[in-house]
């Protein structure tokens, strides 16, 4: 009986495989000669970043290849996806045909986490994944500002993850954005030519000399001590400058 049961299982597996193969082959035959009737744009934009809309994506799509009215088996969807992803606002692009003969274009947009300010060049955004992308006339994102001589270097990086100093700064920006208090308090990061960061706060008037984007959690812990224990006793406007660079020290002047 056990031997017969195994035979039945093998027959069932073979039947399933043949069935799947038949469906794939049938689907491929259905696609042969199928004409693209319309284009459906789907924007995956859970963070509500309106740098691009459906019309923008459609213009980019039509700029690569006139697909409406074309047979699907003549389209190179992977090539079109690659061209769409050349726009730095786009994190991912996926194209496929639905059962009604429409070309579905699913676009995932990047989320900005910081804005780079340049006095002699266009501003730019740093995305959550570290990619530097241009600003848009359509939408302005309220994020932490980055200024100073180092800004040009950040734009030249293109992707902060590919550079050790850029990766450290990206980690610092993520740390600030994940903490409700620091996200509200830190308005701007001014970075000098050596990569040293000065924090410009929203509420208190002190310039916070943070140093390089290293030992981040420890430095912010020291700054919290300064806010909670020192300023309430000495006065919120007593100090103009706070230095966190030195190990286990808070220097206020």
Residue with the bigger pLDDT between 10 and 34: it is 34
Residue 18 has pLDDT above 50, yes or no: no
- Predicted pLDDT of residue 20: 43
- Predicted pLDDT of residue 53: 87
- Listed by start position, the domains of the chain span 38-109, 112-252
Please give the torsion angle defined by the CA atoms of residues 34, 38, 43 and 49, in that order, rounded to the nearest 10 degrees. Answer: 150
Work out the pLDDT band at 2, boundaries 50, 70, 90. Answer: very low
State the pTM of this model.
Answer: 0.81
Mean pLDDT of the chain: 85
- Predicted pLDDT of residue 195: 95
Residue 3 has pLDDT above 50, yes or no: no
- Spatial separation of the C-alpha atoms in residues 154 and 136, rounded to whole Å: 18
Q: Yes or no: say if 208 and 231 are a contact pair by the CB < 8 Å rule.
A: no
pLDDT in tens, 126-146: 999 999 999 988 888 899 999
- Spatial separation of the C-alpha atoms in residues 50 and 57, rounded to whole Å: 12
| Overall average pLDDT of the 215-231 stretch | 92
| Buried b / exposed e along 59-87 (16+ C-beta atoms within 10 A) | ebbeeeeebeeeebeebebeebbeebeeb
pLDDT in tens, 57-72: 988 888 766 788 888 8
What CATH class does 38-109 carry? alpha beta
pLDDT in tens, 72-106: 888 888 989 999 999 999 999 999 988 888 999 99
- Predicted pLDDT of residue 50: 79
| Overall average pLDDT of the 23-31 stretch | 44
Quote the radius of gyration of the chain (alpha carbons, Å): 27
- Predicted pLDDT of residue 48: 72
Work out the pLDDT band at 214, boundaries 50, 70, 90. Answer: very high
Please give the torsion angle defined by the CA atoms of residues 124, 125, 131 and 132, in that order, rounded to the nearest 10 degrees. Answer: 10
Task: For domain 112-252, give its CATH number from 3.40.50.300, 2.40.30.10, 2.102.10.10, 3.40.50.11690.
Answer: 3.40.50.11690
- Residue 199 CB contacts under 8 Å (≥ 6 apart), including other chains: 186, 188, 189, 207, 208, 210, 223
Work out the pLDDT band at 23, boundaries 50, 70, 90. Answer: very low
- Residue 143 CB contacts under 8 Å (≥ 6 apart), including other chains: 112, 113, 114, 115, 125, 177
- Residue 40 CB contacts under 8 Å (≥ 6 apart), including other chains: 98, 102, 103, 104, 105
Give the residue carrying structure tokens 């995932």.
Answer: 108
Measure the N-to-C terminal CA separation of the chain; round to a whole number of Å. Answer: 89
Residue 151 has pLDDT above 70, yes or no: yes
The count of other CB atoms within 10 Å of the CB of residue 124 is 22
Q: Dig out the tokens for 154 from the structure.
A: 């950040």
In angstroms, what CA-CA distances link 108 with 54, 79, 173, 175, 198?
12, 17, 22, 24, 34
């Amino acid at each position: 009986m056990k031997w017969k049961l195994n035979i039945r299982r093998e027959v069932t597996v073979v039947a399933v495989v043949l069935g799947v193969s038949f469906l794939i082959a049938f689907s491929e035959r259905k696609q042969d000669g199928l004409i693209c009737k319309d284009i459906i744009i789907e924007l995956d934009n859970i963070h509500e970043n309106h740098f691009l809309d459906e019309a923008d994506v459609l213009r980019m799509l039509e700029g690569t290849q006139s697909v409406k009215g074309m047979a699907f088996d003549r389209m190179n969807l992977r090539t079109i996806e690659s061209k769409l992803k050349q726009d730095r606002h786009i994190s991912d692009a996926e194209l496929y045909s639905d059962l009604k003969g429409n070309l579905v274009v699913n676009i995932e947009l990047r989320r900005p986490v910081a804005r780079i300010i340049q006095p002699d060049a266009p501003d730019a955004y740093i995305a959550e994944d570290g990619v530097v992308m241009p600003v848009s006339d359509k939408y302005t994102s309220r994020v932490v500002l980055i200024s100073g001589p180092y800004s040009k270097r950040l734009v030249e990086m293109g992707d902060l993850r590919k550079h050790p100093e850029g990766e450290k700064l990206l980690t610092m920006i993520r740390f600030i954005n994940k903490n409700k208090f620091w996200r509200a308090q830190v308005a701007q990061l001014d970075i000098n030519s050596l990569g040293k960061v000065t924090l410009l706060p929203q509420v208190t008037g002190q310039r916070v000399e943070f140093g390089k984007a290293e030992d981040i959690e420890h430095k912010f812990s020291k700054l919290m001590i300064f806010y909670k224990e020192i300023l309430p006793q000495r006065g919120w406007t007593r100090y103009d400058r706070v230095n966190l660079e030195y190990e286990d020290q808070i220097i206020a002047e």
